[in-house]
């Protein structure tokens, strides 16, 4: 599915998939429940999508999140089952090159969302993947990522030091709170998963689309208790889930899931008193 109006086009662009242990992915929910919808492999890992969002407006081409990229060492690739980055190839399928991107919104700096913000050139030097873009990240997210505590270290994989290359080149723009990036595209700070975690709301004129990042990473995380063990502040996540799920249902927003695999987007509908997802191809 492609959502498009006369002025704004929104498309999902994949960096491929990766594997993550189902235990922390579903937090306090027992395996006997979550494995009904997310079958783990023999190492207890579930397959997750690496879904970015391409937003084309009259003002700018915007990419929301940048996947894992190709810089992770072989041992990390083996652990997470990520063979190669597909983001740039899939952008080209949409008629967009890396040099065409004006803004990269990083919802947070976990390695599965920010790793692809930089890449290695032929000499092995870290360079910006999107050389003409400004990279937008919440100031509190930046500060936490560069001084993580022992519990949050795994969220950032091999680290965020590669992002200093962008900062040194003046390409990082630190945001302080909810922000209008261009007309019709807003970031909304949720915190919860991490300090400064943000989601992105797009108003195409005919539809509202919300990219949920790690607030609700997959459709399997729609039930309120389904909150990952990686969330720094699960009670904040819970409160924001309630608020945004109500708005998605009542206002008919299209929800896009950053780590959805079989299902990547859909609408909430109430059937026989229960809330269900009507999945759509996106």
In angstroms, the first-to-last Cα distance of the chain is 4
How much is the pLDDT for 157? 64
Homologous superfamily in CATH for domain 3-279 = Ribonuclease Z/Hydroxyacylglutathione hydrolase-like (3.60.15.10)
How much is the pLDDT for 254? 98
| Tens place of pLDDT per residue across the chain (282 aa) | 456 555 899 999 999 999 999 999 999 999 999 999 999 999 999 999 999 999 999 989 999 999 999 887 776 778 888 878 899 999 999 999 999 999 999 999 999 999 999 999 999 899 999 999 999 999 999 999 988 777 777 677 667 899 999 999 999 999 999 999 999 999 999 999 999 999 999 999 889 999 999 999 999 999 999 999 999 999 999 999 999 999 999 999 999 999 999 999 999 998 877 888 999 988
Q: Distance (Å, rounded) from C-alpha 115 to C-alpha 119?
A: 8
How much is the pLDDT for 158? 64
How much is the pLDDT for 1? 47
Contact 173, 217 (CB under 8 A): no
How much is the pLDDT for 175? 98
How much is the pLDDT for 78? 81
Q: Distance (Å, rounded) from C-alpha 112 to C-alpha 80?
A: 10
pTM score: 0.94
212: buried, middle or exposed (CB in 10 Å: 19+, 13-18, 0-12)? buried
Tell which residue, 2, 22, 45, 7, has the closest CA to residue 184.
Answer: 7
**In the chain, where are the structural domains located?**
3-279
DSSP code for 170: T
How much is the pLDDT for 3? 61
Could you identify the residue written with the tokens 């235990």?
Answer: 23
How much is the pLDDT for 18? 94
Could you identify the residue written with the tokens 């995380």?
Answer: 221
């Amino acid at each position: 599915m492609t959502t498009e109006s006369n002025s704004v086009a929104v498309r999902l662009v994949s960096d491929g998939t990766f594997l993550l242990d189902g235990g922390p992915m579903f937090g306090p929910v027992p395996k006997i429940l979550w494995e009904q919808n997310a079958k783990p492999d023999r190492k207890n890992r579930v397959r997750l999508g690496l879904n970015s969002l391409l937003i084309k407006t009259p003002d700018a081409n915007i990419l929301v999140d940048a996947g894992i990229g190709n810089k992770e060492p072989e041992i990390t690739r083996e652990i997470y089952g990520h063979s190669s980055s597909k983001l740039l190839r899939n952008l080209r399928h949409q008629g967009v090159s890396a040099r065409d991107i004006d803004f990269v919104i990083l919802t947070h700096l976990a390695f599965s969302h920010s790793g692809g913000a930089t890449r290695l050139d032929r000499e092995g030097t870290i360079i910006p993947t999107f050389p003409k873009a400004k990279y937008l990240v919440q100031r509190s997210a930046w500060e936490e990522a560069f001084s993580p505590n022992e519990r949050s270290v795994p969220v950032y994989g091999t680290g965020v030091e590669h992002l200093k290359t962008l900062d040194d080149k003046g390409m990082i723009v630190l945001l302080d709170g909810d922000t209008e990036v261009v007309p019709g595209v807003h970031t909304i700070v949720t915190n919860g998963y991490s300090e400064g975690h943000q989601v992105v709301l797009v108003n195409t004129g005919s539809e509202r689309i919300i990219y949920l990042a790690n607030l609700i990473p997959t459709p399997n995380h729609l039930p309120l208790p389904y909150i990952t063990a990686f969330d720094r502040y699960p009670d904040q996540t819970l409160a924001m889930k309630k608020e945004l799920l109500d708005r998605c249902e009542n206002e008919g927003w299209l929800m896009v899931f950053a780590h959805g695999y079989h299902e990547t987007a859909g609408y909430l509908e109430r059937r026989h008193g229960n809330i269900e997802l009507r999945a759509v191809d996106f």
